[in-house]
Every structure is written in C-alpha cells, then in structure tokens.
Chains A and B, each alone.
Chain A
Amino acid sequence: GAVVSQHPSRVICKSGTSVKIECRSLDFQATTMFWYRQFPKQSLMLMATSNEGSKATYEQGVEKDKFLINHASLTLSTLTVTSAHPEDSSFYICSASFLNLQETQYFGPGTRLLVL
C-alpha cells in the first residue's frame, strides 16, 4: 500500500515553455501532498505543501507564480513550472501523507526536468 506515482518521469523542454507534473496517490487518499526539488548530490528541499481544496503553502524563496500547485482532489496534485529556464532543471519529487498516519510521507518516483 501507500503507492505514489508521478508523471512524466522525465521531460525536456525549451526555455520559456511551461511544464506540468502530476502526482497521484494510487491506493489511498492523501490529505497532504508535498513538492520537493533535489539538485544533483544534494538533499531534498521542500518547495510547498498542499492540501486538497486549499491554496498551497510555499517555502521561503519559492516563487508561487512560477511554481503553480493545484491540489484538485485527494489523489491528485499538480506542479506547473511556468516559463521554465535552464536553472529550473532539477529532479522534482512529490510525496503524500494520509489522515491516519499523517507523519509518514510516501514519495513518488520523481520527475527529471531538463530545460534547454
């Protein structure tokens, strides 16, 4: 149980375009979903926390107009990187937690974004 999927697994795009990444909880209803960014050989940096039906809470230094998060249902959250630039190239990982075990986060497989 507690499977989280992410799509796409990798994407290459041109500078200035927007990219949408989906995060789904497959076998549970996620009360909270988290979006992280991980640069090579570095730790996971939390970008934002999202709860279904409400606006995401962004970490300091993360531009909410650039990284749009939508949490439309208890099983789906999306992250849209708008007007992507090469410095946005990174590994984006989502995680989800559910009501009865809110502390534990289950991670998706990640999306590798390369902006040319």
Chain B
Amino acid sequence: GAGVSQTPSNKVTEKGKYVELRCDPISGHTALYWYRQSLGQGPEFLIYFQGTGAADDSGLPNDRFFAVRPEGSVSTLKIQRTERGDSAVYLCASSPTGGFGANVLTFGAGSRLTVL
C-alpha cells in the first residue's frame, strides 16, 4: 500500500477485555515497529520485528502484551485483560532493511485505545 495502515483508528473497551490492533505495513518493508504514546509524551517503543520474528521485545510492559507477524507483513498487537493505564495511541511503523531506507521509519496514524 501507499502508507502504513492501522485499524481500528479508535477502539473503546471495558477494563478486563481483550483487544487486537492491526498494522498493515508498506509492501516490501521487512522491519516493523510498535510504539505507544500517552498524552503529552513521546512515543514509547514496544516491540520490533525483522521479518516474522521479534528481534527486540524489550519494550513490552508485561505479559498481557503480545504481538505477532506470522507471514512477515501484517502484524497484530494483542492486549489481554486491559487496564485503564493501557489507554494510549498505539503507533506502528515500518522500514526496509539495509540501505538508506533502513534509516527512515514510516509511521501509521495510530490506533487510539480507550479503556473504561
């Protein structure tokens, strides 16, 4: 696609529910990143995929958060037993691997999650 697509753009859920957020990266981009951003803060790194594998998941806050990228393109961020503190904008970015393009991350518009 022309850009990074994230769905849903807005999600409202109740405390304790399960949520899935989807990221469709730019076609051919092998690297994919998830971030979350709270109001007034910069984006906080969560996890980074190189192809199908998670190359760095050091930013996942706890075991309620999990992400997959089974075919090396679309990725899903999964949050179990949501808490009010999980409310944030979840951002996805992708980039090629190698060459100049590897230095440029293209971000989606984000998925705004609100946990009531």
Does B bind A?
Answer: no
Task: Using CB atoms and an 8 Å cutoff, list the residues of chain A in contact with chain B.
Answer: none
Task: Using CB atoms and an 8 Å cutoff, list the residues of chain B in contact with chain A.
Answer: none
